[in-house]
Structure 1
Amino acid sequence: MRADPIDLSTATRTGRRSTGERLREAVLALAGGHGDVLLHSETAWASITFTGTRHRLRIAFEGDEAVAGGEELVAALPEHEFAIPRQLVADAAVCGVESRLVPEVRMVVECELLLLEDA
C-alpha cells in the first residue's frame, strides 16, 4: 500500500486537530520545539485485532541548537510514552539520520511510528 504525503500547507485549521497534526506536534516537542517537518506520510494499518495508522516523518534540524534538539529526539523517541487522545503509539523507531557540518550544521531525521486506535 502506497503512503500518501500530507500537504502541511493546507492542513485544516478548524478547532480540531487531526491525529497526524497531534503526532507532529508531539514529535517536535520531544525535539525541544526544534525542527521543520519536510514530509509526513500516513498509511492505514490493520491486523486481525487492531486498526491504526503508520506514520513516516522526515524532519530537518538546522543550526547548533536545532541539531541538539534532533539528537534529543533520536535518543528519546523509541522509549517515549506519547499522550495522543484515543491513540496508542505501539512502535516508534528512528529509520535514518543524515548529518552535515558545512556550510551549516544540519541533521535530517527520518522516523516511523505505528499508532493504534484506542477505544
Structure 2
Amino acid sequence: MKKFFSVLLLSLALFAFLLSSFPQETLAANVCDAESVSKSISGKVATKITFVNKSNDLIKTYWLNYQGNRTYYYQLKSGQGYTQQTYVTHPWVITDEQDNCLGVYYPDGQARTVNYSG
C-alpha cells in the first residue's frame, strides 16, 4: 500500500509538471470581475506574453499598474499578434474597442501565448 501511494504521488507530481509546461492557449473571458481587485506587485521576475487576436474584432491590451489602473499598450486587429515583456506579478487586461473587459491574464514564470478568439 505504501508503494501504491508513492507511485500515485509521483504520478500526480509528473502530471502537474507536464500541465504547467504547456502554454495557456486561450484567455478565459469570465475573470473580468477580478480586474477591480488586481494590480501589479513587483518587477522582479521577468517573463513574456504573446497576445494573438483570433477574433474578427479589434482588441486592446492594458497593463494593470501598481495602483490597479489600466495602462494602454497595444491594439490588435483581427489576425495580429505581438509579444510583450512583463513580470510575473503584472496582470494584463484585454478589452474590446469600447474598452469593455474581455478577460484578465496573470502571467507566470514561462513565456505564454494568449489566443483571444472572442
What TM-score does the superposition give when structure 2 sets the normalisation length? 0.29
Relative contact order, higher structure (CA 8 A, sep 6+): 2
Q: Which has the higher strand share?
A: 1
Q: Who wins on radius of gyration, i.e. which is larger?
A: 2
